[in-house]
Structure 1
Amino acid sequence: MKNDVVSYFLELVSIDSESGNERAIVDKLKKDLEELGAIVEEDDCASKIEGNAGNLYAYFPGTINKKPILLCAHCDTVVPGKDIQPIMENGRIFTDGTTILGGDDKSGIAEILMAIKQIKEKGIEHPPIEVLITVSEEIGLLGARNFDISKLQAGFGYALDTHQVGEVVIGAPSQISFQINFYGKEAHAGVEPEKGLNAIRLAAEAIALMPNGRIDFETTCNLGIIKGGTATNIVPGLVTVEGEVRSHNKGKLQKVCEEIEQAVISTVHKFNANGAKASFHFELKKEYEAFLIDRNAPVVTLAEKALQNLHLSVDIKVGGGGSDANIFNANGLPMIIVGTGMNNVHTTEEDILVDELYRGTAFIEELIHLYAEE
């Protein structure tokens, strides 16, 4: 294992690990965690999610008799994440623009493991530490969903999975995904188009009636995928639309979903009133539940104090995205999300500052130190 967080981060991002294909990075991290003195287990998550690697749970016995502190990060990346070639110039790490960097979330992994390495090398007394590295977070929090949470002994935890070091996310929204199939009727577009029913037109009119974008300060809706049609000379008979709704408010979440469904129903009714035989299938799937942790909860105040001790700015906020923290909070384990320094994630313009990697490592080390003292 490398001795510096920057060189370690560069090593990690150079290992391919798009969601569902984390085998190489999981093998690497298992070896590194064991080298640091952890008892490491890989679960059977892979068989449940059609991936090639499971979640890694690592337990570091402590020298102080307390409940463990839990540190969590995910090892998968979004696409394009193959053959990443990191470039470091003027204190900044980025790529050539053909791939993402993978700081989401390998910056979190690097900071966790390097902080533990430094604590052990300095001979600092510490409580037990639990490290959880999840898989397939980017495609629906699948690793966290399929992890046996009863293994965890910690009273609270931290997911290293947001932007600047100093960000402390104490809440996140619920998310519901939806899929709508619009059914029309195929026909030859040049010979007898009047015998067909254009599913693209059907979907387009329904979409025009749907809520979209920023609904209010705590609610969003996005139509992200539309698929349909087979050839320009065929009236399309099927179109599929996929999207999501997020909100911190359960009632608003339900209301937006109902408005989407009503837009579909009214459009299909309008077409059929004119003699068509349109139909649809509407499916909702709850992805995760919202959470909001009290500003004065120990998991929050400990992070705040660690940042203050390092003279780093503290930005306590409620976020708009989901993470593994949603799953653990829903199962009764308080977990907040803290920053690692990553910028422009999920894009080929992603980067991270070298100084942020050092600050993130120092923050985790201070967090463990403070928890040991309390």
Structure 2
Amino acid sequence: MQKIIDRFVKYVKIDTQSDENNPAFPSTEKQWDLAKVLVEELNEIGMQDVTLDDNCYVMATLPSNVDFNVPTIGFVAHIDTSPDYSGTNVNPQFHPNYDGKDIVLNKERNIVLSPSYFDDLLQYKGQTIITTDGTTLLGADDKAGVTEIVSAMEHLINNPEIKHGKIRICFTPDEEVGKGAHMFDVEKFGAEWAYTMDGSQVGELEYENFNAAGAKVTINGKIVHPGYAKGKMINSMLIANEFIAALPKNEIPQETEGYEGFYHLHGMSGEVEKSTLEYIIRDHDFKLFEERKVTFQKIADTLNKKLGSDLVQVEIKDQYFNMRKKIEPVMHIVDIAEEAMKQLNIKPLIKAIRGGTDGSQLSYKGLPCPNIFAGGHNFHGRYEYIAAESLQLATDVIVKIAELTAERAK
């Protein structure tokens, strides 16, 4: 397991933070740094057809080692880390034989990872916990997935007695800014189906995700001297407040769970003359998702009618859709992953993703792609962590899926 840990640490120390405000692809040049390292490493371990294209996608092949036809399967992970928190100078900390108590990430700043708040930690008592030093994110999302795929391929190469068909792997850029699958060449990849290694806790197996849209509300006001503003000034910030208050107050991320959708205000700026609100709109049910977008526009229409002018403008863009529609006709690919976990004594946790994944967009591009755990927790912030043992378990699941796919093809 130490080799897997060392590989993970090597990857997380390479800053690959993406940039949601840059339309370039990839959105940051530094993602190329890890991509080039991966090309070198994949060649070193004996992978074939290793490529790095002009859009920063790394692909490679592990040829079949059996003399009968087996469906070509794939494994996908993303190399970028979230723009939400710094990925510069990541300094992983190791906590062997975790005792279930508070973990001090940074004594000087009094930053503590506590199971009293993050109770998932208690699942990993007795294991080696890898954390941040409190000043950056860790990057387990999704460098854990990258680590596990490379490690699984190396294991299969070094253990040819494990029979498998052709396997394709791909590492994508810009997943964290919603563009991870935009330039993915499904035809070049050439797999019948694939799995993203981008979930959280051990056992997660997901083939449902949110339908998602981004929304921007622009409110135009009028600025005049406040001493002479009677009947003239229109304060866009006050209208923005009315818009926010008009949405269902409990349909927000911190008040919802499971299949419950939400409106999430994640950015706002304002002056008297102009204010903007940035939202994401989410729901697993497509009909409810469409209704949420209608509700959003109706609030703007109501405010404009009240104001007697079209001061409130709404722009809504669909981002991705629930992959369940594309997975259900080929549920055997979920069954194989579930069986792989069971054979490894891992309890499958089949649930809907309260978020998105490259797998959603890939499924709609013709590559059915459920999501499997990578092992990390508390993504996108200083409290991110992963158990070293989880890296090994996810690696084992990849190997077992390859083996079961070949067995079922006999």
**CA deviation after TM superposition for structure 1 residue 284, in Å:** 0.8
Of residues 44, 49, 54, the one that matches 1:39 is 49
Is 2:401 aligned against 1:367? yes
Normalised by the size of structure 1, how large is the TM-score? 0.90
Q: Which amino acid in 1 is paired with 2:290?
A: Q
Pairs within 5 Å for 1:1-374 = 4-19=3-18, 20-21=27-28, 22-36=31-45, 37-45=47-55, 54-64=56-66, 65-78=69-82, 79-90=85-96, 91-124=128-161, 125-140=163-178, 142-189=179-226, 191-194=227-230, 195-211=232-248, 212-213=251-252, 217-229=259-271, 236-272=272-308, 279-292=311-324, 293-294=327-328, 297-374=331-408
Amino acid paired to 2:332: P
Structure 2 CA distance for partners of 1:278 and 1:192, relative to 1, 3 Å = farther
Q: CA deviation at 1:199?
A: 0.3
Describe the shift of the 1:361–1:243 C-alpha distance in structure 2 as closer, same or farther (beyond 3 A).
same
Distance 2:241 2:52 in 1: 46
Q: State how far apart, in whole Å, the 1-side matches of 2:294 and 2:208 are.
A: 25
SS at match of 1:300: helix
| CA distance, structure 2, for counterparts of residue 123 and residue 356 of structure 1 | 24
CA distance in 1, matches of 2:180, 2:373: 21
1:296 Cα shift? 7.7
Kindly provide the amino acid, as one letter, of the partner of residue 74 in structure 1. Answer: H
Counterpart CA distance in 2 for 1:323 and 1:265 is 33
Question: What is the CA–CA distance in structure 1 between the aligned matches of 2:70 and 2:307, rounded to whole Å?
Answer: 66
- 1:258 Cα shift? 1.2
Q: Supply the distance in 1 between the matched residues of 2:14 and 2:329 (Cα, whole angstroms).
A: 38
Deviations 1:263-322 (A, max 9, x none): 1221232233xxxx5612211101011121339822111111111111111111122211
Residues in 2 aligned to 1:5 and 1:35: alpha-carbon distance in whole angstroms:
15
Q: Secondary structure at the match of 2:267?
A: strand
Shift, 1:327, TM fit: 0.7
User: Do the aligned residues in 1 keep the contact of 2:65 with 2:160 (CA within 8 Å)?
Assistant: no
Aligned-pair identity in percent equals 28
2:71 and 2:405 in contact (8 A); partners too: no
The 1-side partners of 2:328 and 2:310 are apart by 49
Distance in 2 between residues matched to 1:215 and 1:105, nearest whole Å: 25
1:26 positional shift: 0.8
Hey, which bits of structure 1, 4+ residues long, moved more than 6 A?
Answer: none
3-state SS of 1:205 partner: helix
Task: Report deviation, 1:346.
Answer: 1.2
* TM-score using structure 2 length: 0.82
Confirm or deny: 8 A CA contact 2:217 2:278 kept in the other structure: yes
* RMSD (Å), alpha carbons: 1.9
Greater strand share, 1 or 2?
1
Q: Judge conservation of contact 2:186–2:366 (CA < 8 Å) in 1.
A: no
2:395 match: secondary structure:
helix
Could you tell me how far 1:251 is from its partner in structure 2?
Answer: 1.6
Equivalent pair of 1:207/1:263 in contact (CA under 8 Å): no
Residue ranges of structure 1 left out of the alignment (5+ in a row): 46-53, 230-235
Instruction: Indicate conservation of the 8 Å contact 1:170/1:295, yes or no.
Output: no
Residues paired across the two proteins, number: 353
Q: 1:295 to 1:350 in 2, by over 3 A?
A: farther
CA distance in 2, matches of 1:27, 1:296: 34
- Which digits, 9 at most, give the CA deviation of each residue in 1:98-130, with x for residues without a partner? 111000000011011101111111223331110
Cα distance in structure 1, aligned partners of 2:321 and 2:185 = 18
Q: Quick check: 2:265–2:279 contact (8 Å CA) kept in 1? A: yes
**Alpha carbons 2:304, 2:311 under 8 Å: kept:** yes
